[in-house]
Amino acid sequence: MPEKTSEPDMDDLIRLSVFSAIGTSIVAERSIRGVLDRVMEHVGSFFGPLNWSLLLVDSAKGELVFARVVGRSAEALTGQRVAIGQGVAGWVAQRGVSAIIENPSEDSRWSDRLDHMTGFETESIIAVPLRSGDKVFGVIELLNRLDGARFSAYDMRVLSTIADFAAIAVEKAYYLAEARRVSERDPLTGALNRRGLDRAIDRETARRARYGGDLSVVLADIDSFKAVNDNFGHATGDEVLRAVARALGGAMRGADCLARYGGDEFLVLMPATGPEEAEIARARIEEVLKKAGEAHVPPFSVSLGVHSSGDDDFGELFRESDKDLYRRKVGPLAMGENLLAAIDDEGNGDAR
């Protein structure tokens, strides 16, 4: 006869229910920020630490950054960096294994640098890696229990389970964000496409509804771009587009948005920017583009238009910046050459 399996006791069922609820809550988040915030919330309520942190790997610099900190000294620690390999969190990030330390001062892995900086006294530590496959992208670290007890091996298993949920959720949110980013970017230049520009406008509309303020647009049009394609080929034309996008990106402020507005047109959306600031920005961008165009082979030039508005009529804002661009592009001589044709058009009923 087959042996009877023992039924799980009530404590096991409660623990399973708790872990299921925690996992479901974390994985349900759709943004990376949301995942990190939910993880910190559950860690705080489950373990009751005095201080708990979520550090993320900056692989370019070989460092860990305190991305989320809750508890004592949270303000002082947020944004601080430690080298991978330094301290307990750095040791965990470097090796990809968990660590539990009951007496930090007697452990060679511990560094007292942050304690000296914050005035915090670390008595017990537990730290687990956040990993995607074999790659560690972060660490969850807990310091000191509120009840004064030391962290246990059971605590480490639970925290590791939470970290596994977090890693799955972060990876999912990252790929969702990346898919959204790709769908909103022009693949040739990396600037926003019209879909991305629409989302930027939606964000700006919400911001202005709350805070008010002006909005300005700089419209950039590559001069004689068709001739570049005709004379040098479309590959060269593509390189000119990329060069213009790089120059515009380098001349923008951090809060500005760059979009490819048309085939050879780019648009710089400048939040909280009035007419005077916009004209200063236009002059700065013009100088950067001039240098980039003169250094490029073949050389290119770009005409700029600018307009500012205090309302939410984005269509009017774009139309006025386009008119300003055209006025600057054609100049008085070109207008003189086309004036008779314009009069003829009006006579033929084309004017409105």
Strands 125-132 and 135-145: antiparallel
* One domain for residues 154 and 271: no
CA dist., res. 73 & res. 218, Å (int): 44
Residue 337 has pLDDT above 60, yes or no: no
Q: What's the confidence (pLDDT) of residue 335?
A: 44
CA dist., res. 83 & res. 20, Å (int): 34
Q: Which comes out higher in pLDDT, residue 335 or 85?
A: 85
Q: What's the confidence (pLDDT) of residue 182?
A: 81
* One domain for residues 51 and 76: yes
* One domain for residues 33 and 68: yes
* One domain for residues 32 and 120: yes
* One domain for residues 156 and 224: no
Range of the domain at 76: 10-182
Res. 262 pLDDT band, cuts 50 70 90 = confident
State the total domains in the chain.
Answer: 2
* One domain for residues 178 and 198: no
Res. 350 pLDDT band, cuts 50 70 90 = very low
- Does residue 89 lie in a domain region? yes
Res. 107 pLDDT band, cuts 50 70 90 = very high
Neighbours of 307 (CB within 10 A): 22
At 226-256, the pLDDT tens digits run: 999 999 999 999 999 999 999 999 999 988 9
* One domain for residues 39 and 171: yes
CA dist., res. 46 & res. 142, Å (int): 12
- Does residue 3 lie in a domain region? no
Look at residue 352 and give its three-state secondary structure. coil
Q: What's the confidence (pLDDT) of residue 176?
A: 82
Q: Return all residues near 242 (Cβ < 8 A) that are at least 6 apart.
A: 188, 189
> What integer is the mean pLDDT of 269-287?
91
Lowest mean pLDDT among 98-107, 208-217, 242-251, 309-318: 309-318
Res. 96 pLDDT band, cuts 50 70 90 = very high
Q: Which helix (H) or strand (E) holds 31?
A: none
Q: Tell me what the pLDDT averaged over the chain comes to.
A: 85
- Does residue 188 lie in a domain region? no
